[in-house]
Amino acid sequence: MIHIIDDDPNVLSVLTEILESLEYSIQAFSCPVNYMQYASSNDYHAPKLIITDIKMPRMSGYELMRKMAEARQDLKFIAMTGYHDIDDDCKELPHLFMRKPFPPQLLEENVHRLMKDQ
């Protein structure tokens, strides 16, 4: 299971389509705050990998990764950003950074690498 969190519906749709075509099970979320509420519910199904945008309203991807890493040390993260200013304090949080836009092949390679390490 892979969870994708991004406030851009087009990014969510494309990433979901790509990863589902590779036969990964995906859950997509457009709001990090809603994702955190889901993560603390009894309905939560923990993923092996979280792919999250960095710059989002209400909660950054950095904050989301910190909170999720505290709760579950076994999670892997891919952080995505279209910005060039990456917070030095948070570079250790994701296992991989991907700069938007990126080719589908790079997504496939990075997801495969992290999923097989599980």
What pLDDT sits at residue 13? 97
State yes or no: pLDDT of 68 exceeds 60.
yes
Rounded mean pLDDT, 78-88: 74
What pLDDT sits at residue 97? 85
CB 87 within 8 A of CB 62: yes
DSSP state, residue 90:
G
State yes or no: pLDDT of 84 exceeds 90.
no
| Among the listed residues 67, 70, 89, 90, the one whose alpha carbon sits nearest the alpha carbon of residue 79 | 90
What pLDDT sits at residue 61? 92
Q: How many domains does the chain have?
A: 1
At 14, which CATH number?
Answer: 3.40.50.2300
Domain range holding 90?
2-116
State yes or no: pLDDT of 18 exceeds 60.
yes
Rounded mean pLDDT, 40-55: 95
What pLDDT sits at residue 87? 57
